[in-house]
Structure 1
Amino acid sequence: MAAILTDDVLEQARHGDSGALTAIYQNLAGPVHGYLAAKGLEDPEAAAQEVFLTVFARLADVTGGVAGLRKFTFSISHARMVDATRARARAPRIVEYEPAVDPRVETSPQDELLAQLESGHLAQALDSLVSDQRECVMLRIVAGMTIDETADIMGKSAGSIKQLQRRGLLSLKKTLEEVDGDD
């Protein structure tokens, strides 16, 4: 069980206390990894490790106590995700041809149904959102960020974040209802 993250623990971590650094990692690693994985990074664990190396190296820069630490950590996570997305766009990954997984091969209706049941529809519904709505929902719901933290990370006002979240959740609900209705 992770120690409770408090301003005192943050202050101890700034002075190099290994127990305090461990408490920070244990409290934030799961949400950071979840955020990076949900954003589709190829190696979210490695990216999360990079995030914490940066966070620990720059603890002196953190202001605002534990809330400031969370915002700082997810700002770095967001930046790593953007960097990885840009790098992937510049240098696409080359993979060998595998006929067994070639999407151009038609599958049977039974195989398609089994694949839909196994994969779930949430990822598909998230992909249907506008990028800002998807980012807002990911930060608010997956990462557990507050409206103000999300607004700072995305460079938008709190009111914009509220609207993006509301519209994104309504769109998700509609898409999931349509998918469930098609089944």
Structure 2
Amino acid sequence: MLDPLVDEYVQADHHDPALLFTAAYNEFAGPVCGYLRARGVDDPEAVTQDVFLALYPRLDTLHGGLQGAKTLLFSIAHARMVDHYRRRERRPEPAPYEVETDTRRAPSAEDQAFGAGSLGVTELLHGLPDDYREVLALRVVADLSVEETAAIMGKSQGAVKQLQRRALGALKKRALLRNGSE
């Protein structure tokens, strides 16, 4: 049974594209969407809208009225469905990321710097005197100035510079010994 708008189209001027479009949409949007859903298209509502957008520019040259629009709509819908499956074949299905099953593990820069790597900062600093570790942590890691480090450590700026020089020397010596033993 045709709805009143379709009856109106049948009784009105058959050459009015806007009226034909409205009648075709009201009559066939549901069946086109159902066809696309039944054929397994991922987003049948969006593809249905695309089908009707493709129909609109062709209305001026369409023959057969509402029946012609139906034939053209389902031809367009079929082509969109085929395009959907072709796209799906070219693009692999995305897989969800699961941390537990990911074997591509690499240590972070932080892990490498603070002990997970062979020359971790924590390992290198471990055997140094407390003053050396403190000055290196404040000057290098915290990126504080000589003045700020001196104020925190309660030492003169000259003493901080001397401590830093000695600590870096000891650190270099430890790194060289470590690399030489591997």
TM-score (norm 2): 0.46
Structure (1 or 2) with the larger CA radius of gyration: 2
Flag the structure with more relative contact order, 1 or 2, with Cα contacts below 8 A and sequence separation at least 6.
Answer: 1
